Amino acid sequence: MSPPNSRTVSESSAATVAATIRGGRATVHDRGNKRLDGVLDFVAFAAKPMPLVSLLDEAPARIAAIFDADVCSLYLVEGCGNELVMRGNVGFTPEALGQVRLAIGEGMTGEAVEYLRPVTSDNAGSHRAYKHFADLGEERFPIFLSVPIRGKVGPLGALVIQRKDVPGRGQFEERDLELLAALGAIIAAGIRHAELIDAEREKHAPSPRKAGGGTRKVTLTGRPFIAGRAIGAIAALRRPSSGRPNDSTQTRDVKEEQKLLRGAFDVADKAMRGLSERARAMRLGDQAGFLATYVDILGDARFRERADELVAEGQGIAVALGRVAREVTRTAASITRDAFLEERARDIEDLCDALVMLAQADKRAELPQKGILVGDGLSVFDLLISARAHPVGVALTDRATGPRTRSLLRLLGVPAMVGVEGLFKWAADGDVALLDADHGLLVINPSRSEVAALREYKRAKGKDTLE
């Protein structure tokens, strides 16, 4: 028997091509087997060096297609090595990324990672270890399979596939379990190169770095808040300096300073009313109710008059407003445990800082244009002042909590993430950072491939340029 005519596999109209090799038969499998094609395509995809975000974006969708699953989730081990965080998914709402978290050993996925063994169920809701997340609606997908993603010395994460209980599909089989475990091993290589900051690396964090002096690429994790991705130079949120030199060393034109102060009040009043209207349009409700307090403060005639009096005495705008803020704070402190006055004092201090910048900008408090703002929290000062630098993203530490911060981030309206661990240990002013608020990743000094991936993302979203 002679070998077949010379032709490529792609030219064959049959599913397979047979050839006689050394007396036996070898079968070259052409495309047409959906599962096999999916596996081979996934292997080719995963073999290429790529940014972590590309793996998180594409791997779940490819794996779901291979197993005819409705849901595929990719969890990463983070923190001190005792927490699983969903960073990749297809099938659930995008808002689940970075928010769904499990302790090692918690839930069926946590058990798979704890024991480094697969966990399956044909009715996940009835499993003794089942962990329910109401916002996911995962009760729709009771057919469940989870396998650990293993690293060199321990778990790196987990892969989970789920499907609806419909005729013709049923529970996952042994071959599914074996294949998913093998695909998890392929994903492990990509995760290992992601350089997520964990507890051990926190212990060896570098000494404080000079602005823009870092070149090492690191990836910090947090919780996505406003979806989107952006790149820019890191800029720490800042306030006007106290005791500015020009307050004591320059001869003042008191009338001019009074004019500047009154103008600052008018600008702030108009801006706050605009923010209040925008909050109503966005239906932020009671969470943005604090904005009305700022409008009331700016409309308080005595507040304006007291600041104007001090400026007329020649104290300067910054000193005068600082003194007004201290007077209010002392008044609040003199009244035992009056929460309302204490909060109002903080609001006035925040507003005084903004008025100083509106009247006489302090160059040391100004921010670079189109940067990634980082800090412990966001305030009304930042919406009035920091926002004028047109930031492209915001990353906040785990100190940023509460409905006020959430409302301010929504009003600012740029990609944002909160709860970023190790932010000020690894980031410095001037460092270039890629903020991925879809998955909850902040990449400091991103690679060229990561920047290219962001360009592709922007292009797909209809934005041809990086901000």
- SS3 letters for the chain? CCCCCCCCHHHCCCCEEEEEECCEEEEEECCCCHHHHHHHHHHHHHCCCCCHHHHHHHHHHHHHHHCCCCEEEEEEEECCCCEEEEEEEECCCHHHCCCCEEECCCHHHHHHHHHCCCEEECCHHHCCCCCCCCCCCHHHCCEEEEEEEECCCCEEEEEEEEECCCCCCCCCCHHHHHHHHHHHHHHHHHHHCCCECCHHHHHCCCCCCCCCCCCCCEEEECEEEECCEEEEEEEECCCCCCCCCHHHHCCCCHHHHHHHHHHHHHHHHHHHHHHHHHHHHCCCHHHHCHHHHHHHHHCCHHHHHHHHHHHHCCCCHHHHHHHHHHHHHHHHHHCCCCHHHHHHHHHHHHHHHHHHHHHCCCHHHCCCCCCEEEECCCCHHHHHCHHHHCCCEEEECCCCCCHHHHHHHHHHCCCEEECCCCHHHHCCCCCEEEEECCCCEEEECCCHHHHHHHHHHHHHCCCCCCC
Q: Which CATH number fits domain 251-362: 3.40.50.1980, 1.10.1200.10, 1.10.274.10, 1.10.3720.10?
A: 1.10.274.10
User: What is the model's pLDDT at position 193?
Assistant: 62
User: What is the model's pLDDT at position 315?
Assistant: 85
User: What is the model's pLDDT at position 23?
Assistant: 55
Q: Which residues of the chain have pLDDT under 50?
A: 1-15, 17-21, 197-203, 208-213, 244-249
User: What is the model's pLDDT at position 153?
Assistant: 84
User: What is the model's pLDDT at position 215?
Assistant: 64
What residue segments make up the domains of the chain, in order of their start? 1-30, 34-192, 199-238+367-460, 251-362
Domain 34-192: assigned CATH number: 3.30.450.40
Q: What pLDDT digit, counting tens, does each position of 240-281 carry?
A: 776 544 444 455 688 999 999 999 999 999 999 999 999 999
**Superfamily of structural domain 199-238+367-460:** Phosphohistidine domain (3.50.30.10)
User: What is the model's pLDDT at position 83?
Assistant: 94
User: What is the model's pLDDT at position 179?
Assistant: 97
User: What is the model's pLDDT at position 68?
Assistant: 94
